């Protein structure tokens, strides 16, 4: 059965998207990403090391012909900075995709939603395919789409917290009203969290720390791959309703 994720005409093979941060080295990054089956990888934009040209480059390990590179604006606290990083990212890369972050608070890394909305509007007009990292607020999700976002990426919990989906009901409401894909971004801690996101009906899950920070990132990458596939299948299959009392699975008829 055909079940592809498409955003603005771009087809995605995998519903698991992964970050490339916090790995011990590039070799481990490459192995974990390969094991995850993801075809989208997020990257950050930073100053090139001009003093040590022997230092290796991430793209030596993550082939941009094989993976869709999704640059982020992580670390940006103002609209101005987010625009600057987005434009640099487009110039350094090969596509109009941008994972837009405008951060509002250092401790929680929660988004500054008024700034996010403004930046989304400006970048969408400039032809970017804007994927904003937002909170789990259904009203904001709608406003972002009205402003030109190609998808919305509500957080499950704070970035790197591993708390899982703290407010599944809000995610459900965001999904109910969605006219674009919804991708849960941030806060996933383990495979069951990713499965829950997919069972709710999310179109994809984006995570980084849950894999990179695991004792065995390659094994966790495989677990996430299967969790996302399982969660998606379960969503499409349609789960049974929850009931308080038992219903026997074996027939009464024929009993002695």
Partner 1 sequence: MKLTINGNGTEVKDGLTVKGLLECLEIEPARVAVEVNLRIIRKDDFHTHELKDGDSVEIVNFVGGG
Helix (H) or strand (E) holding 182, with range, is none
Binder to partner 1 among 21, 104, 158, 168 (CB under 8 A)? 21
Q: Are 87 and 123 in contact (CB under 8 A)?
A: no
CA distance 155 to 205: 10
Q: How far is the CB of 98 from partner 1 (least distance, A)?
A: 13
Residue 23 as a binder of partner 1 (CB under 8 A): the answer is yes
Tally of CA atoms within 13 A in the half-sphere of 202 that contains its CB: 34
Distances (CA, A) of 62 to 31, 71, 135, 224: 10, 13, 29, 19
Residue 45 as a binder of partner 1 (CB under 8 A): the answer is yes
- Positions marked catalytic: 99
DSSP string for 217-247? HHHHHHHHHHHHHHHHHHHHH-PPPP-SS--
CA distance 94 to 76: 21
Q: How far is the CB of 235 from partner 1 (least distance, A)?
A: 25
Binder to partner 1 among 2, 4, 9, 47 (CB under 8 A)? 47
Binder to partner 1 among 14, 19, 113, 199 (CB under 8 A)? 19
**Site track 77-116 with partner 1 (rule: CB under 8 A), x = hit:** -------x--xxx-xxx-----------------------
Binding region for partner 1 (CB under 8 A): 19-23, 26, 29, 42-48, 50, 53, 57-59, 69, 71-72, 74, 84, 87-89, 91-93, 159-160, 186, 207-209
């Amino acid at each position: 059965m055909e079940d592809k994720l498409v955003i603005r005409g771009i087809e995605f093979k995998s519903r698991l998207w992964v970050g490339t941060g916090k790995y011990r080295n590039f070799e481990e990054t490459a192995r974990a990403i390969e094991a995850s089956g993801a075809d989208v990888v997020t990257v950050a934009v930073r100053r090139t090391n001009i003093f040590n040209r022997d230092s290796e480059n991430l793209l030596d390990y993550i082939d941009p012909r094989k993976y869709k590179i999704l640059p982020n604006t992580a670390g940006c606290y103002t609209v101005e900075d987010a625009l600057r990083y987005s434009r640099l990212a487009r110039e350094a890369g090969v596509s109009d995709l941008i994972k837009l972050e405008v951060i509002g608070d250092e401790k929680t890394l929660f988004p500054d939603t008024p700034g996010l909305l403004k930046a989304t509007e400006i970048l969408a007009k400039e032809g970017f395919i804007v994927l904003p990292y937002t909170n789990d607020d259904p009203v904001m999700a709608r406003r972002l789409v009205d402003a030109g976002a190609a998808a919305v990426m509500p957080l499950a919990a704070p970035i790197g917290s591993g708390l899982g989906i703290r407010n599944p009901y809000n995610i459900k409401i965001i999904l109910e009203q969605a006219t674009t894909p919804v991708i849960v971004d941030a806060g996933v801690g383990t495979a069951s969290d990713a499965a829950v996101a997919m069972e709710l009906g999310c179109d994809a899950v984006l995570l980084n720390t849950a894999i990179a920070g695991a004792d065995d990132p390659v094994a966790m990458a495989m677990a996430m791959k299967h969790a996302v596939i399982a969660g998606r299948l379960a969503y499409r299959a349609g789960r049974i309703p929850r009931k308080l009392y038992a219903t026997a699975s074996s027939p009464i008829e024929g009993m002695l």
